[in-house]
Every structure is written in C-alpha cells, then in structure tokens.
Amino acid sequence: MFSWLGKQGGGRERGGGTDVVQTVTGGLRDLYLRKLLPLEEHYRFHEFHSPALEEADFENKPMVLLVGQYSTGKTTFIRYLLEQDFPGMRIGPEPTTDSFIAVMYGETEGNVPGNALVVDPKKPFRKLGRFGNAFLNRFMCSQLPNEVLKSISIIDSPGILSGEKQRISRGYDFCQVLQWFAERVDRIILLFDAHKLDISDEFSEAIKAFRGQDDKIRVVLNKADQVDTQQLMRVYGALMWSLGKVIDTPEVLRVYIGSFWAHPLRNTDNRRLFEAEAQDLFRDIQSLPQKAAVRKLNDLIKRARLAKVHAYIISYLKKEMPSVFGKENKKKELINKLPEIYIQLQREYHISAGDFPEVKKMQEQLENCDFTKFHSLKPKLIEAVDNMLANKIASLMNLIRQEESNMPTEMVHGGAFDGTMAGPFGHGYGEGAKEGADEEEWVVAKDKPAYDEIFYTLSPINGKISGISAKKEMVTSKLPNSVLGKIWKLADCDGDGMLDDEEFALAKHLIKIKLDGYELPGTLPSHLVPPSHRKPFQTAE
C-alpha cells in the first residue's frame, strides 16, 4: 500500500511510537529527495531561504527552543525540567549564557564544540556551518544521560541584549540563526520576567524571525511569584499588549504563568494557578514526541508551498529579462516592482498572499543575483510537488493516524515531569471530586449536619424527598440545568428518582465542588458513594 515510503529510518532511544516515527521518517525523506529537492535545486531555493534537508533533519528527536532576554530564567527552566545540572550551564542575574547550547541525550556527560558538531552526520546541525566561526565558537552540544532527553532535545539560546551590542558584538546574524532553528524545532518558548516586561528592539526583531512558525510559539511569564495578584494582572495585560504589537497574528498566544525553578514561592496567593499552568505546559511539552511525525509532515508542506512560490518568482524574473541590452536597468526595475509581481503571481496561479516570502528581504537578496542565470518555469517540477501535496502527503497522514491509533501514547518522562504525575503532590490531588479519596471516613460527613437541616425542611416522606422538592433546593445554586441534571444522576445512587438524606448530602457536596471551580466526575468515585449505598451500589457494578 505504501511502497513509495522507502526504507525505514534509523533507530531511536524512545518507546511506543518508534515504528510510526521511523515509517513516516522514511516516507518524508523519500518524498523530499524525489519530489521537492529537484525543484529547490533548480531554482536556487537554498540560497534564498533554507539549506537542503539532510537525513538527520528527519531522524532527530523533537526539539524545544528557549528564547528570551537575559535573566528571564531560560537556563534555570532547563535545569528545572531535567532536575540536574548539564555541562556548560551557567546561571546568574547578568548575561551568563553567551552561547547556543543544544542539550541532548548522551551515555556520558560532556561537551561537543560547534566546529565538531556541524560535521557530525548524526546531528541535525550540519547546515549551521554557513554562519561561520564567529557562531560556531559560540555553539556547543551538552550531552548527559537524562530520562527527559531520551524523548526531546532542548536548545538554550544567549540572553538577548539591547542596543548596538546585540548587532555588533556577536559577530554573526543572531536573527538568522534563530530563524534556522525555528524552522526545525517542534516548540518555541518565549520567556519573560514578570519584573522586566519591556520588549527591546532586538527582542522584537528576534520574535519577527519566527514569522510563519506561529503555531510553534508558546509564551512563559516566569518569576510570577515575585508579584502579588493585583500586580500580576497588570503585568499579564501589559505582556499581551506588547506581544500584540510584535507578533502579527489575530490569534492570542498561549501564555503560561508561573515560577519555573525548584525554590519556595515568594508569594503563595496564586499557588493553585501556578500549579495548573505548569501542568498545562508540561502536557504540551510531553505531547511533542507523539506529534513529532505530524510536525515534520506539516513543516515539509510549508516548505513545499514556499518552494513553489519561489519557483514562480524566479522563473517570472527570468522571463522578463531582455536577451541582449539593458539587463542591469531591467533588473533594478523588476526588483522595485516586486510587490506588484507578487500580486500578479497570486492572481495567475491562485496563491495565497501568506505563502510569499517577505518582500523587503527578497529584494535585498535579489540585488546580488544575476537574473540571466535563473531558469525558466519547468511545469514537470511543479507538477511533481503538486502531486506530492495532493496525493502522497494525504496517504502518509492516513498512515500516521492508523499507526498512532494502534500504539500506546508516547510521552516525555523523567525529571520534573514525573514529579507531577502521581502521589499527593500531583496536580489536583485531594481537590474537588478527589477530596477524601484516601480517607476512611466519608468526606461528605463533615458537612452532613448542615445538609440534614435543609433536607428536613423539604418534607421527606419515608425518609426520602421527591425530585421536585430536590429541584427547588438545587436550583438555588444558580447552576445551569445541564449541570444540575448530571449532579442528580450522580447523587441518585439507587436510581429510584428520589433522594434520601445521604444522597441529598452528596448532591449538595457535588454542587459545592462545581461552585468551587472543579469539574464533576464522569462516574461517581467509590469514596463518594454514601455508606448506606455502598454494598448494593458495588454489587450493581
């Protein structure tokens, strides 16, 4: 059925989803080499946009890129996730991390310098060599045997500075490097300090380098325990306003609020909020291995669309060039008219404006090109990519769905991720419907005397009240009927359409759970079953 997939990719250090990732990896690599790469090479796509993909780009584990101004807690965040130090780690209030550090799994601890890293065919960094020694001297791989790193790799970036120092002192194009990583990572986490919300011009430029990768971006408002609730509301509002000016998307970015380090909270008023936010962020990161195949597929589709548009632009410029005289003047004219050419190509080939590269950047790149060496349009190359997008990609997507449905969910384990999964310190333990789960006494009993007083005002007959009587009391909670209906089903343990005193107390307890902001259980947990109903209830089960 999928004979075109090619051979499966190399092994991985991960569990459950290995086979599907390997099969999809082989299929993606085969599609890229046979369908997309010829188009890219013919129209010099790699000179304008992104280097050619290599086997390591398809084989690598999911990667998480951390970006932020200095002292926002990027390195501390990695230390928090791994629960151990890593080689090359430096933490301090001053700009300490002055290098890009790829934190990856290795059987033994150690560092691999940038120049050695970019010649290793097993690592997905070979194309970074084009940024020169100034960058490679500030790039390293930190390897260590850590359970978290068996599933993901983490890229720590230098703290973003302000002023001319950012542009001059580094000696390499910082934003171009960020863009290179952004195209290859699975998640981009922007970290902000609750005390330093200003987005410098350089940070703004760095964020703009992630154009087209908006679906990968998450925002972390770190060190939020250092402000009180009122200040936190203001800080959050200011952050959303600032991001709205920098990130050009109608969707609101997901912002996780918390304090991501293993130290006591300075302000505990928002502890529950921080725990819930950390759990949501952990779930997002933990799901990356499971979504890795889909992410690679999505990135290949984006690359194919851009390559097609690039081919149309280059071939149009070639077609408009004179054969003998006035080449230089015509070149200048075409570069100046590039926005109009974009509009013309959009209409002619029915292409979305969002698929076109940034005009200003494209104009700058075209200045140094000889248009006469460009190639004319080759319909066969375009048709091959169209066929890949219309048929092969759809088949591969179906394969991913089939394989994932037959395999256990693959998650990131180890480090801070294990500390939140089980036990009394797991998120939500002992709260809401889980309260009293490890106690011998029925948790509703402590409030039952108050509930009994209400129960006996409802004129019970033979120790029970009717549904109508119960409804009169339950609607005073102002909860919608759909919620009250669910509570009724959970509380009416024997299903006789009436409530005795214990069932009524249970209904009031469930209403309290909902009013406190917790979710109702789908089925009644055993510890909430009223004592007098436990034997018949369990027998019925």
Together in a domain, 182 and 283: yes
In this predicted structure, what is the pLDDT of residue 107?
93
Domain boundary among 369, 390, 406: 406
Radius of gyration for the alpha carbons in the chain, expressed in angstroms and rounded: 29
**Cα 110 vs. chain centroid, distance in angstroms?**
28
Residue 14 lies in a domain: no
Residue 321 lies in a domain: yes
In this predicted structure, what is the pLDDT of residue 5?
38
**54 in Cβ contact with 124 (< 8 Å):** yes
Task: Name beta bridge partners: 160.
Answer: 69
Together in a domain, 212 and 89: yes
Together in a domain, 44 and 89: no
Residue 19 lies in a domain: no
Please tell me the pTM assigned to this model. 0.76
Together in a domain, 99 and 239: yes
Together in a domain, 247 and 318: no
**289 in Cβ contact with 14 (< 8 Å):** yes
Give Cα separations from 60 to 8, 13, 125 (angstroms): 14, 11, 10
**Cα 529 vs. chain centroid, distance in angstroms?**
40
Domain boundary among 287, 318, 333: 287
Those residues with Cβ within 8 angstroms of residue 513's Cβ, 6 or more apart along the chain or in another chain:
432, 433, 520
In this predicted structure, what is the pLDDT of residue 3?
35
**Cα 490 vs. chain centroid, distance in angstroms?**
36
**131 in Cβ contact with 174 (< 8 Å):** no
Together in a domain, 191 and 91: yes
Tokens of 225: 């325990």
Together in a domain, 225 and 131: yes
Separation of alpha carbons 45 and 51, rounded Å: 8
**207 in Cβ contact with 190 (< 8 Å):** yes
Vertex 131 angle, CA 125 and 136, to 5°: 65
Residue 84 lies in a domain: yes
Together in a domain, 230 and 116: yes
Burial class (CB in 10 A: 0-12, 13-18, 19+), 329: exposed
Together in a domain, 462 and 525: yes
3-state secondary structure 430-473: CCHHHCCCCCCCCHHHHHHHHHHHHHHHCCCECCEEEHHHHHHH
Task: Name beta bridge partners: 509.
Answer: none
Together in a domain, 207 and 77: yes
In this predicted structure, what is the pLDDT of residue 80?
92
Least Cα distance to 114 among 373, 514, 353, 123 occurs for 123
Together in a domain, 343 and 245: no
Q: What is the chain's pLDDT, residue by residue, as a tens digit (541 residues)?
A: 333 333 333 333 444 444 555 567 778 889 999 999 999 999 999 999 989 998 888 888 999 999 998 888 899 999 999 999 998 887 765 555 578 999 999 999 999 999 999 999 889 999 999 999 999 999 999 999 999 999 999 999 988 876 545 555 678 888 899 999 999 999 999 999 988 777 888 888 888 889 888 889 999 999 999 999 999 999 999 998 888 888 877 677 889 999 998 788 888 889 889 988 999 999 999 999 888 888 888 899 999 999 999 999 999 999 999 988 888 999 999 999 999 999 999 999 999 998 999 999 999 999 999 999 999 999 999 999 999 999 888 888 887 777 666 666 678 888 888 765 556 666 667 788 888 888 889 999 999 999 999 999 999 999 999 999 999 999 999 999 999 999 999 999 999 999 999 999 999 999 999 998 888 999 999 999 999 998 644 444 4
Residue 277 lies in a domain: yes
The total of structural domains in the chain comes to: 3
Residue 58 lies in a domain: no
The residue segments making up the domain with residue 349 are: 24-53+298-406
CATH of the domain at 461: 1.10.238.10
Separation of alpha carbons 198 and 354, rounded Å: 29
Amino acid letter at 133? Answer: N
Amino acid letter at 266? Answer: R
Separation of alpha carbons 410 and 21, rounded Å: 11
Which residue has tokens 């974009």? 342
Together in a domain, 317 and 456: no
Residue 93 lies in a domain: yes
**404 in Cβ contact with 17 (< 8 Å):** yes
Residue 47 lies in a domain: yes
Which residue has tokens 């969002």? 354
CATH of the domain at 81: 3.40.50.300
Which pairing describes strands 187-193 and 63-68: parallel, antiparallel, or unpaired?
parallel
